[in-house]
Structure 1
């Protein structure tokens, strides 16, 4: 049994701050979910909850 050398390198994420997972957009492209995306979603959710609480 022999080991073969491979020129394949680990693929680097397209975004410097990847989280885990991906989503598929309307055009069928795979988009990595990043930490920044998660932070923004959490901030937007928190903001909407605060606005709802003010209305109540």
Structure 2
């Protein structure tokens, strides 16, 4: 996943934008943007069980 963090200037000052492909999420500070990215990366890298592969408890 290509994730980009950038500062943008707007009428109310600087805000930070995280881009995930065509999706963009804005934050008030760079710290908030970086925390979001860290959480997202941790969730993406976490182990996942694919549907239909879970075993039923005996």
Q: Structure 1 length as normaliser, TM-score? A: 0.38
The structure with the greater share of residues assigned to helix is 1
More strand by share: 2
Greater C-alpha radius of gyration: 1
